[in-house]
Amino acid sequence: MRFSIYQDSLIGERQVNQDRMGYCFTRDSLLMLVADGMGGHLHGEIAAQMALQAAAAAFQSQARPMLADPAAFLDLALRRGHREILRFQHANRLPDAPRTTIVACVVQQGQAWWAHAGDSRFYWLRGGAVMARTRDHSKVQNLVDLGLVHPDDAERHPERNKVLNCLGSPFEPTIEIGGPLPLAAGDTLLLCSDGVWAPLAEADLLAALGEDSVLVGVPLLVRRAVELGGVLADNATALAMTWEGEEETGEGVSSALVPDGAITTTISVGPPDEAAPDAISEDEIERTIREIRDAIARTGGSS
């Protein structure tokens, strides 16, 4: 496989960046992920980090060097993240679990599969047009589907941030699967949090990713989203891949350079001393647990 790939994230006007992003690839398979920790639940960044690490660990185990069933893998990987978040809640006796939305995509054998829970989005871009995108699991999207809200009014609706599906909730999440779709050279796949797509029109996405490489377009997209968000700018995170084809020579990254049995990853799946810079340490997790319990005590709740 040969492809160009780039990821970027900005904190916006929030105190903490609760978004997480990353990708992994073997000689024959690529996994991309974006998770948006939910700010309405304390320390959503922990849920986002756990979801990414669980999916990356599953990919490392099953991509040998190709996934037997990409759609089944995506369902398993995201549900594994959900279970890890709930295990974290129970192990630390928390009254509620941190939560996250997530979107994931697998590319192998010239095809793409994707999955999501919540309102983090996947876009398939080709020739200056949006060929497909995920449908948000949100209250406003449901109102649009019922004909109660016009699509043009959805982005300005006062309840646009109400998500109906995520990892870490008390209920089993709905994992919506898409694909496979055959990729053509030049196709771009974009995964992003709502901090990117909400302030921007689809024309802005197409302009940023259609006029230059993803190495230029992704940071431009993220920066523009934060600028448009102004004083209300959310965490903005985007990961995009442009497919070059199966050839071993040309521009971009060649997976042929990955040794047999090896994996290239930007996601920490090893022990803490090998953690990536954005991984959450044990000390940070302990601090988070104390903060959650202190917040409960201040509001008169019980743990």
Domain boundaries, the chain: 2-293
pLDDT tens-digit profile of 136-154?
997 676 676 666 665 665 5
pLDDT tens-digit profile of 195-217?
999 999 999 999 999 888 999 99
- What per-residue confidence (pLDDT) applies to 284? 62
Band (pLDDT 50/70/90 cuts) for residue 274 is very low
- What per-residue confidence (pLDDT) applies to 43? 82
**Which of the residue ranges 24-28, 132-136, 269-273 would you say has the lowest mean pLDDT?**
269-273
Q: Of 181-185, 208-212, 271-275, which one has max mean pLDDT?
A: 181-185
* Other beta carbons less than 10 A from residue 147's beta carbon: 7
* E strand or H helix that includes residue 19: strand 19-25
* Domain 2-293 coded CATH 3.60.40.10: yes
Q: Does pTM surpass 0.85?
A: yes
* Opening angle at CA 246, ends 268 and 124, nearest 5: 70
* For the chain, the helix, strand and coil percentages under 3-state DSSP, each to the nearest 5: 35, 25, 40
* Alpha-carbon distances of 145 from 28, 101, 122, 131, 136, rounded to whole Å: 38, 20, 19, 20, 11
Mean pLDDT of the region 63-67: 96
CA distance 67 to 107: 10
